[in-house]
Structure 1
Amino acid sequence: MADFPSVPRVGIISQARMTSTRLPGKVLMPIGGQPMLQYHVSRLREAELPIYLAITTNTTDNPLADFAADQSLPLVRGSEDDVLSRYWSCAEQYELNLIVRVTSDCPLLDGTLIRRGVEEYIRQGDARLYLSNVLERTYPRGLDFEIFSRELLAEAFQQATQPSDREHVTPFIHQNRSGRVRFRHFTRPANRSAYRLTVDTADDFELLKVLIEQHHAHQLPTDALLDLLDAHPELVALNAHIEQKKV
């Protein structure tokens, strides 16, 4: 077990870009009079941890830079395809030794869940630990987070060579390419992994728009949000046919 600081410098790094292949510009599309990204950031702030936005150097992402400035969010810009390098640049620049990875197309991601995950990680006291709710999935897509140390991030940044590893940030870590990663899974008793709360297509966006504008889902804790979906199968059906893109 590699020792981990008892009081680490923690940062939530959210990756974003305007050139999504299936729904370009989605993160700034309006819901209830404000951009979808605003809901994402507001929910993350419930974790009471620093938040960083990692975007590309493309001019198409300048509106995201403007959003970050308006929200007083620290910003890192880097390669569109080498997202791993964006995370490493952010960790280095802000001297983070515990990183929470999230993606900006998840407007209902619950910061209180992330806080619980971070507290569990710190209790474990192991810099070789990877903790997430994505490998053993019991939460819906769209409530995803991954937590790992700067040590594991550095290892991936220095050793990962496959383009898919660089684009998707964590495969080198969670596939345990080093052979020295320890895993902890953040799960819930009742499996709701079939639900989809991420925005990748127009149908995904329509569901989130209805949930937020008609049911105030952005104000609900996770359990209440899942109760809402349980009670409204007609809403779940709006994007149940969407297949997640393969990593």
Structure 2
Amino acid sequence: MQDLIPVIVQARTGSQRCPAKVMRAVAGRRLIDYTLDALERCRSARPLIVATSDDPLDDALAAHCTARGTPVIRGPLLDVAGRFRCVLERFPVRAFVRISGDSPLIDYRIVDRAVELFRAERPDLVSNVVERTFPKGQSIEVIDSAIFLGAESRMHDPADREHVTPWFYRPESGYRIVTIRADTDASATSMVVDTEEEFQRFRQVARELSAPAWRYHWHELAPKLEERSA
């Protein structure tokens, strides 16, 4: 198991800006299914695991993911770093990929590229977040498990524990980070579903696609979203 690099998707039902977004239906699929459908296509990273909370509000999400055959690990609601620790205690792997469940248009090809870079360079972290050139909603981090667990034990600020990785990006941190960049700067584009407006944009685009969303590269879908935000 040490050689595996799983994809861990953090997801929960509670959301103030877009309530229950991950379980909303779009074109016959739940929003979380779009994320998981794409990540199941990864060649370099597996297995796929959902890390959700042990709050009763997430019972339906956990049941849905289990029913589709995706392993689910449950942990603290707001202590997301603790949730990742729970996964690593169950799956003692060398490294893992961190993805947010509100990224239904995630491009699995970027995940493969990031994992291959991690295997080649052996850094503490591969990230397309610290120097963002990809759109929001294409955020990918590959983290060395031992490095993460060492940092997690020292994260005492609730904000660090909720957001997980800002700890690694502070100038004084000293971690070895390899950045993955897009060919062109698309950092101003949003492909994430964080608000009701973003959900409605995603729903419009998803309904118009002639093939499953995972078949499209991110740069094919980004302009479709931009057209609806003008």
- Which bin holds the TM-score, normalised by the shorter protein? over 0.9
Aligned-residue CA RMSD (Å): 1.8
Partner residue of 1:187 out of 181, 189, 193: 181
Matched, 1:220 2:213: no
Residue number in structure 2 paired with 1:234: 227
User: Which residue is 1:28 aligned to?
Assistant: 23
Counterpart residue identity of residue 115, structure 2? V
Deviations 1:41-70 (A, max 9, x none): 001111132111111111110011111211
Verify the 8 A CA contact 1:57 1:79 in the aligned structure 2.
yes
Task: List aligned pairs for 1:22-171, cutoff 5 A.
Answer: 22-48=17-43, 49-126=46-123, 129-171=124-166
The one of 195, 205, 224 equivalent to 1:201 is: 195
Q: Write the distance in 2 (CA, Å) between the matches of 1:62 and 1:189.
A: 40
Please state if 1:211 is matched with 2:202.
Answer: no
CA distance in 2, matches of 1:144, 1:236: 20
* Identity fraction in percent: 28
Deviations 1:11-54 (A, max 9, x none): 11111111112111000111101111111100111113211111
Determine the C-alpha separation between the residues in 2 that align with 1:233 and 1:61. Answer: 31
1:114–1:137 CA distance, 2 compared to 1 (3 A): same
Query: Deviations along 1:112-154, whole A, 9 cap, x unmatched?
Result: 110110001100134xx21111111111100111111011111
Give 3-state SS (helix, strand or coil) of 2:153's partner: helix
Query: Post-superposition shift, 1:174?
Result: 2.3
The letter of the residue matching 2:206 is I
Partners of 2:125 and 2:142 within 8 A in 1:
yes
Shift of 1:176: 5.7
Aligned to 1:242: none
Aligned length: 226
Q: State the secondary structure of the residue aligned to 2:143.
A: strand
Give the superposition deviation at 1:183: 1.4
* Unpaired runs of at least 5, structure 1: 238-247
Structure 2 CA distance for aligned equivalents of residues 25 and 8 of structure 1: 35
Counterpart-to-counterpart distance in 2, 1:45 and 1:177:
36
The more displaced of 7-16 and 92-101 is 7-16
Partner Cα separation in structure 1 for residue 25 and residue 228 of structure 2? 19
Amino acid of the residue matched to residue 51 of structure 2? A
Taking a change above 3 Å as real, the CA distance of residues 151 and 233 of structure 1, as seen in their structure-2 partners, is: closer
Tell me if structure 1 keeps the 8 A contact 2:22–2:31.
yes
Normalization by structure 2: what TM-score? 0.92
